Amino acid sequence: MKMEVAGLNFRRACNKSMVGQEGRDSRNERRGNENPYEGFDIDPRVLTVDIDPRYIDPVDSHVLPDLLDESTIPKDLVEVDDLMEIGISYMMIDMFEQAIDSFSRIIWFSDDKEVIQEAWVNKGVSHSELEEWDEAIGSFREAIVSDEKGKHRATAENNLAFALWEFGKDEEALEHVEKAIEVDERFAEAWYNRGFFLNERGLFDQALPCLDNAIGLGYRSINVLEEKLRSCDGVGDYEEGGRISEAIESMREK
Q: Is residue 4 part of a domain?
A: yes
Q: For residue 37, what is the DSSP state?
A: P
Q: Which one, of 196, 188, 123, 186, lies nearest residue 165 by Cα?
A: 196
The span from the CA of 253 to the CA of 248, in Å, is 9
Q: Is residue 71 part of a domain?
A: yes
Q: Please tell me whether residue 7 adopts helix, strand or coil conformation.
A: strand
- Which phi and psi (to 5°) does residue 124 adopt? -65, -40
**pTM higher than 0.75:** no
Domain that holds residue 56: 1-153
Q: Are residues 215 and 118 in the same domain?
A: no
Q: Is residue 221 part of a domain?
A: yes
Q: Are residues 121 and 238 in the same domain?
A: no
Q: Are residues 127 and 224 in the same domain?
A: no
- Mean pLDDT is lowest, of 74-88, 168-182, 198-212, for 74-88
Q: Are residues 9 and 120 in the same domain?
A: yes
- pLDDT of the residue at 48: 44
Taking phi over 0 as left and psi of -120 to 50 as alpha, with beta for the rest, 77 belongs to alpha
Q: Which CATH number is 204's domain given?
A: 1.25.40
Q: Are residues 4 and 59 in the same domain?
A: yes
Q: Is residue 117 part of a domain?
A: yes
With bands split at pLDDT 50, 70 and 90, how would you rate the model's confidence at 108? confident
Q: Is the pLDDT of residue 225 over 80?
A: yes
Domain boundary among 132, 153, 174: 153
Q: Which CATH number is 4's domain given?
A: 1.25.40.10
Q: Are residues 102 and 203 in the same domain?
A: no
The one-letter amino acid at 76: D
The larger pLDDT score, comparing residue 125 to residue 108, is at: 125
Contact 241, 206 (CB under 8 A): no
* Percent with pLDDT over 70 in the chain: 69
Q: Are residues 53 and 133 in the same domain?
A: yes
Q: Is residue 163 part of a domain?
A: no
**What is the total count of domains within the chain?**
2
Q: Are residues 37 and 125 in the same domain?
A: yes
Q: Which one, of 171, 47, 178, lies nearest residue 105 by Cα?
A: 47
With bands split at pLDDT 50, 70 and 90, how would you rate the model's confidence at 83? confident
Q: Are residues 128 and 214 in the same domain?
A: no
Q: Is residue 5 part of a domain?
A: yes
CA 199 to chain centre: 22
Q: Which one, of 108, 115, 118, 124, lies nearest residue 18 by Cα?
A: 124
Q: Are residues 148 and 208 in the same domain?
A: no
CA 97 to chain centre: 15
The larger pLDDT score, comparing residue 172 to residue 13, is at: 172
- Mean pLDDT is lowest, of 36-45, 106-115, 168-177, 239-248, for 36-45
Q: Is residue 179 part of a domain?
A: no
Q: Are residues 15 and 121 in the same domain?
A: yes
Q: Are residues 110 and 1 in the same domain?
A: yes
- pLDDT of the residue at 76: 56
Q: Is residue 112 part of a domain?
A: yes
